[in-house]
Chains A and B, each alone.
Chain A
Amino acid sequence: MSLRVLVGCKRVIDYAVKIRVRPDKLGVVTDGVKHSMNPFDEIAIEEAVRLKEKKIAKEVIAVSCGPTQAQETIRTALAMGADRGIHVEIPAKEMEKLEPLHVSKILAKLAEQEQAELVIVGKQAIDDDSNATAQMTAALLDWPQATFASKLEKTDGELEVTREVDGGLETIKVKLPAVVSSDLRLNEPRYATLPNIMKAKKKKIAKMKPKDLGVDLASHLEVVEVVDPPTREAGIKVEDVDTLVTKLKDAGRI
């Protein structure tokens, strides 16, 4: 019954940072910018740790693909309660060209190697908002998927997952092994305390390269242009209702 859970966690620009487009318009400024774990991935880690606390999981493995600093993200996951980490090294330069399909192939391969019975990832990363890794990982493994999970319950050999869908909640059952992606309401990630940060330092992080896993990082996508969202124009104040109605008529809104 005890599962081995593989959790993907991505190092992204911190959610509180104001994003700036690079002068070459082919990406955003990342140098000297605060990074942290993708918030949806924190939720994924938290859920895996809770499964361990309920004795449903026996081991939680945190995986991150990225440059050297991705290890900080893995350490955070370990401090939250993951048992060990795997760092798939991608040089900073190649990071921009890393696509969800590459990450999915890496996760799928690792899930097989580690004999994981459950893969949990955030529903999307807040940098590229692709929302594709969970789905493609499931497809590559030919495992069932339960995306946008807001509740997870284990029944015999199955997971009952409540999903956040348009217009409400949907409850599905998936057979294990399976891939789950976490939505915002799944849980509230814990704060890592000093004793757990210290324990995390003793935990192992294995290092490997995509080619060790037989994953080719050839690009399938090309970035044509990155631009800021259009700035909102300032509104105006009107004196009374009549003026408002006139303005709206002039603007063709009513």
Chain B
Amino acid sequence: MGYRYCGARPTLTTQSHPPQIVKEQILAETELSHKHLTPELKLHLITPTCRLWTSPPPHSPFLDPFWAFYWPGGQAVSRFILDNAHLVKGKRVLDFGCGCGASGLAAKTSTAKHVTFNDIDKVALEAVLLNGYQNNIVVDSLLSSNLIGSPSGQYDVVLVGDMLYDTEFAHQVLCWLQNLHESGSLVIIGDPGRFALESHPLKKLLMCLGKYELTEATILENRGYTQAFVWTFR
């Protein structure tokens, strides 16, 4: 009859552990997966074959491991960057809310000059390092601060994969992205059609750059989304 919340229980969070232990935990709890839109990138992900897939969150050593899933919007941005390498070639790129780092790694593969991987979850940044290593890609720099609202003169391209999941947060992110766009960055957004983006007034200012059919495994886990779209500001 479905998972039931069993209330708060002490959770072992990895945040306080040294990187080596975090890396070992990531390796132990994930599988190298290429069953997604960018099979050329092998990523450490929690998949249906991993024990955590069906475990209640208190059983997870990671607190909210958003990095452990390759969300549809992230897949679309990464695919788009791999297919349109000229957009990032020689450019300074920010992978905002990078999670597993797929989009940034795609940018590096597409010969970006420098990629900053940014995620407020430090475990995600360890996962980025592992994923970079796995794909023989050098990870230029990692940043764990919350960048929303910050000026961004230093990035030519900003990649945003599936960050517009709730109405309020999407509003903050979109307003900031619009500022980045106005100050000259190329903003590339991936999204499967989530309500927060579809219903936002700024959606009118976006132009669709690409549309991708999701893989069967991704569709199964994403409740009604069968496609993902890539957007930029007009």
Chain A interface residues toward B at CB < 8 A: 14-15, 36-37, 39, 42, 49, 52-55, 58-59, 72, 75-76, 79-81, 83-84, 189-199, 201-204
CA separation between A81 and B48, bound complex, in Å?
A: 18
| B224 close to A193 (CB less than 8 A) | no
B4 interfacial by beta-carbon distance below 8 Å: yes
How many residues of chain B get a CB closer than 8 Å to chain A's CBs? 28
Contact yes or no, A59 B165, CB < 8 A: no
User: Is there an interface contact between A201 and B195, defined as CB atoms closer than 8 Å?
Assistant: no
The CA of A192 and the CA of B221, in the complex, are separated in Å by 10
| CB <8 Å contact, B2 and A190 | yes
A199 and B223 CA atoms in complex are apart in Å by 11
State the Cβ distance, A40 to closest chain B Cβ, in Å.
11
Q: Which of B2, B46, B165, B195 contacts A202 (CB 8 A)?
A: B165
B34-60: CB near A (< 8 Å → 1, else 0) gives 000000000000101000111111001
A66 to chain B, nearest CB (A): 14
Given that A72-B5, A198-B64 are contacting pairs, would A204 and B167 also be in contact in the complex, using a CB cutoff of 8 Å? yes
Q: B24 at interface (Cβ–Cβ under 8 A)?
A: no
**Closest CB-CB distance, B11 to chain A, in whole Å?**
13
Judged by a CB distance under 8 angstroms, whether B21 is at the interface is no
Residues of chain B in range 52-97 having any CB-CB distance to chain A below 8 Å:
52-57, 60, 64-66, 69
User: Is A203 a contact partner of B223 (Cβ separation < 8 A)?
Assistant: no
Q: Which residues of A contact B153 (CB under 8 A)?
A: none
Q: In the complex, A89 Cα to B222 Cα: how many Å?
A: 30
The 8 Å CB contact of B57, one of A80, A81, A194, is A194
Give B83 Cβ to nearest chain A Cβ, in Å. 26
The 7 sampled A-B contact pairs (Cβ below 8 Å) are: A76-B2, A76-B3, A81-B223, A191-B2, A194-B53, A198-B57, A198-B69
